[in-house]
Every structure is written in C-alpha cells, then in structure tokens.
Amino acid sequence: MKKIILAALLLPCLLLAQQKVSIIPQPVSIQIDKDSFIIDNTTTISFKKSDKDLKAVADFLSAGISKISGINLSQNKGKGKKIEFKISPTEGIGEEGYLLNVTPSEVRITANTNKGLIYGIQSLFQVLPQVRTNAILKIPSMQVKDYPRFKWRGMHLDVSRHFFTVDMVKEYIELLAYYKMNTFHWHLVDDQGWRIEIKKYPKLTEIGAWRVDQNDKIWAKRPQAKAGEEPTYGGYYTQEEIKEVVKFAAARGVNIVPEIEMPGHVASAIASYPELSCNQKFQLPLTGGDYTNMSSNYCPGNEDVFQFNEDILTEVMALFPSQYIHIGGDEVDKSSWKSCPKCQARMKTENLKTEEELQSYFIKRIEKFIVSKKRKMIGWDEILEGGLAPEAVVMSWRGEKGGIEAAKMHHEVVMTPGNPVYFDHYQAGPDGEPLAIGGMNTLRKVYDYEPIPKELPAENRKYILGAQANLWTEYITTNEGVEYMVLPRMLALAEVVWSPSAAKDWTSFNQRLKWHYRGFQQKGLHYSEGSNKIEI
Ligand code: TNX
C-alpha cells in the first residue's frame, strides 16, 4: 500500500521532470527519458577535424547555441562533455536522416551525410529555448531515429510581384530549414519585375526590375502607370548576393531552385528587350499582378529568343548548383502567336499544328539545352500541353491531374495543387484577415493533404518527389505579410512531407504547435492563429 502511495506521489514529479518535446515535423521514432544533458561553457563539439564541411556544420550549431545563450562552444578541444557528430554508414535513414542520442554524459548525432547532421541539429534546436535566455540549457535525454518521407519538401516565394530583400529571403530560408524543408523555389522572374542580375543583358535589371507603383498596396486597385512617370518601385539581386544566399541555404541543407519564366509571364524582360516579343512594342513592366498580355510573351518564331534564354540560363546555372532548373511555362496567352507571321512560319517548318505544340517546341528546345548541361528541367503543368519534353519534371499546380498524368508517363512530379497548398489563399476569415487571393486553405486542410493521389497506380508512386507550397505575392507587400501567410501553415506541410503518414496526428500536432506559437511570439514573427480555429 505504502509503495502505491509513493508511486502515486512520485509520478507527477517524474512527469514534471520530463521536459516536453514539441518537435515539428514529428520524428519517425522518438523516445524521451527523464534526465538531461546540460550545455555549458565547457561543452565541446567533437568531429573529424580533417573534414572541412563538418566544421561548417559545427559552426552552424555553435551559432545557434551562442544566439540563445551567449555560450561559445569550443570545437575538438577541452575536457568538457561532448556533442559529437559522426558520419558513418547507417542503414534505414537514407541520405537526409539522422540518429540523435542524448544522455546526461553525451550528445551524439550520426548520419550518412552532413545534411542528416544538420537535421539532427535542427531537432536539438527545437528542444532548446527559442530566444536568448539566462536559463540553464538542458537537452532532454532521448533516442531519435528520423528521416524524411519525401525528397522534395518545398517552399516557394514570388519576389517579382513584390520585391523582398536579401535579408528577408535569408530569414525565409532559415525558417523553412528549421522545419526541415529542403527546397526553396525562388520565383525570380515575372511580368512585374526581373529580379536577377544577368551580366550579358544588363537592361533586364536596369529597366525590368522597376515599375511605377511604389505607393500602392493592393494591386487590383492600382492605377496603370501614366506616360512620363518614373519607375521607382522594385529591386533585384546582384550575382554576388545570389551566391551569398545560395551559400547560406546550403549551410542549412536547403537547395535553391531558381525559376526563370518563359515563354510567358515575362513582361519585365520584354520591357527591357522589346524586340523579343511578337509585336515588339515597348511597355513598362506590368504593375502588381496584372495578367499577361500580348506583349508579355517571348516570340517563339524568333531565333534570338532561344539564344537569349540560353545565355541567361548559362549564367543562372553557374550561380545555382541545383540539379533542377525551373523554366515556368505557365499561363501563356498563346493567342498572340496566331497573328504573328514568324510564329506561323515556325509552325509550318516544324510541322506544328497548334499553338500548344508551338509552346511545347519552345520548352523542348530549352530542355535540350538544360539537359546538355547535366541538369533537369522542371516546369508548371502547362508544359504537358502539346507534348511533354522527354525528361521534364512537372510541377502540378492546377490540381493533381497534371501530376498524375506525368507520373503515369514516368516523369518526376512535385505536387503543389492550389487547393490546399497555395499559401497566398486565405487561411481563415476572410473577415479580419489581410486581403488574399480567393480560396480557403486552412491549417487543417494543409495538414490533411496527402501528396500521393489514391488513383495513382502503385508502380507510378515513386515518381512523386514530394510537395511544395507556393507563395505568390500580388497581395503580399511586406515581410510581416509573408510570415503571416506561411505561419503556421508551413508547419503542417512540413509534417506532411517529412513524417510517416501513419505518424500524423492532428491532436498531437496542435499540442506541439503551442510551443512554436510561443516561439513566434518571442521572435516577433507574425502568424495566424485564426487558421487553427476553422474546421472544414
Ligand atoms: C497562378 S501558379 C499563377 C501565378 C499567380 C497565382 C496566384 C502559377 C503557375 N501561375 O502567376 O500568381 O496563380 O494564385
């Protein structure tokens, strides 16, 4: 009897002693014990010294610890307790997985690659305080085995409709890496602004990066530029800045997929080089989010257009090591090609029957070039129309139809259907929410998303690389706006693309979310709690 009473009294104490762990995305397996490892001034990071890349991983951990505590961890010296990194062939965790073992005397992260180690560190960060503290840094003892479900865990950002600074882009990458997302799709080109310096074609950023709408907050209500007005709103990234961002992302295990739109959504390029459109008329880069028109497409009848794009892609590929290069391909108003003599001549010589086939001809030529450089071309699902290029990867955004079709044809696919992973759509309200593009993608809807469509035959499922959320910024003008639309929905997506589907649990997710909300508050990040209130 006495024993039972004692146990009953002790149990709450034991539970209290056990630190709460709220990792998102939920690890594949995690076992938490009651004691903990304490990080102090004597703690040292230990790794194979000769491995320079491991030094970068160690620096990543040190920087994070120093930020929250002011403690500067030593590396490979000192007699204190160790946080050890180990690259060693480990079965069952793949390229990005990790094992994390925490005991009171040691922390050990084991992985097959540095990326795996980085994810182990991100899990460590998620059990430590989120902002600067004077409290003791305690890591609960635990055993974690963890690896992702999908290879492509993407977040997109449109920097054309509104421009975001290098610092903001880094903040975005930091945030997505914290949740083990590994792909940043950088939408660098659209009608409303060309955002990447191209040395061979300087007018792209001298002219194409600027427009006349600096004071307007909502594009739909924006007046068109009047003759003689100075284009002063915009911006672009220099090649040096791009290199810096690529390096920053790589240090966090994030690959950047650059998107260079073609043949449509390029009014900004046509503003710079009007001779590349069918009607060759000069126009200013479009304001806000206006839809493409006749003079915002390249002319596929013009040979110079191909040279131009190949030159641009050559510079782009030198900056971005990504295996995948995105060429857009969406929403081309092909009717303009009907009345273009050069386009019609091209169709005749190439024996193309429809304007869709003409677009397909365009994309196939570009793919050939990209493949000749040992990269893979990815495009929006419109690239299926008129015939898919032989090795193209399809980003399925108009639902999953295009993705299913491509996977059945043995093409790789990234699922990014507007419903539910367009984060420019409302997440709550709409009363009381910032103006957004229609559609209601609540947190719950995102959480319940399953990237493998039921109707896809089993043998084709391996072609689904993963999923991605897109953030178009016609209505999003500020950093706060970006944060608000992404948080907390990105956390739901992270669990969709990382955690085993059997481990998904809405109630548990909501429990864990609380710790993250506190972090957002502490860090001053904007987020929508509203998205959690609406059930579908
Ligand atoms: C469609 S998604 C677009 C974008 C818009 C978005 C708004 C896609 C490939 N094209 O240009 O910004 O809708 O939701």
Q: Using CA atoms, how far apart are residues 301 and 299, in angstroms rounded to an integer?
A: 5
Report helix angle 489-498 to 479-486, nearest 10.
50
Return phi, psi of residue 475, to 5°: -100, -5
Residue 484 has pLDDT above 90, yes or no: yes
Residue 214 has pLDDT above 80, yes or no: no
Residue 216 has pLDDT above 60, yes or no: no
Asked whether 475 lines ligand 1 (CB < 6 A), one says no
Share of the chain above pLDDT 90, in %: 80
Residue 329 has pLDDT above 60, yes or no: yes
> Could you tell me the distance, in angstroms and rounded to a whole number, from the CA of residue 528 to the centre of ligand 1?
22
pLDDT in tens, 121-173: 999 999 999 999 999 999 999 999 999 999 999 999 999 999 999 999 999 99
pLDDT in tens, 236-261: 999 999 999 999 999 999 999 999 99
Residue 457 has pLDDT above 60, yes or no: yes
Q: Using CA atoms, how far apart are residues 56 and 45, in angstroms rounded to an integer?
A: 12
348-305-384-289 Cα dihedral, nearest 10 degrees: -130
Task: Compute the mean pLDDT over every residue in the chain, rounded to the nearest whole number.
Answer: 91
Give me the helices (H) in 98-232, please: 114-125, 166-178, 203-206
> Could you tell me the distance, in angstroms and rounded to a whole number, from the CA of residue 399 to the centre of ligand 1?
13
Asked whether 331 lines ligand 1 (CB < 6 A), one says yes
Domains, the chain, with CATH or none: 15-146 (3.30.379.10), 172-499 (3.20.20.80)
Q: Using CA atoms, how far apart are residues 230 and 136, in angstroms rounded to an integer?
A: 56
Closest CA to 265 of 306, 233, 298: 298
Please check whether residue 37 is in contact with residue 141, taking contact to mean a CB–CB distance below 8 angstroms.
yes
Asked whether 380 lines ligand 1 (CB < 6 A), one says yes
Q: Using CA atoms, how far apart are residues 148 and 34, in angstroms rounded to an integer?
A: 27
Atom of ligand 1 nearest to the CA of 425: 14
Return phi, psi of residue 240, to 5°: -65, -40
> Could you tell me the distance, in angstroms and rounded to a whole number, from the CA of residue 159 to the centre of ligand 1?
13
Asked whether 423 lines ligand 1 (CB < 6 A), one says no
Q: Using CA atoms, how far apart are residues 93 and 240, in angstroms rounded to an integer?
A: 36
The mean per-residue pLDDT over the stretch 496-509 comes to 96
Beta bridge partner(s), residue 146: 98
Instruction: Name which of 100-104, 117-121, 221-225, 521-525 the model is least confident about.
Output: 221-225
Please check whether residue 488 is in contact with residue 22, taking contact to mean a CB–CB distance below 8 angstroms.
no
pLDDT in tens, 193-206: 999 999 999 999 99
So what's the pLDDT on residue 432? Answer: 86
SS3 69: helix
So what's the pLDDT on residue 82? Answer: 97
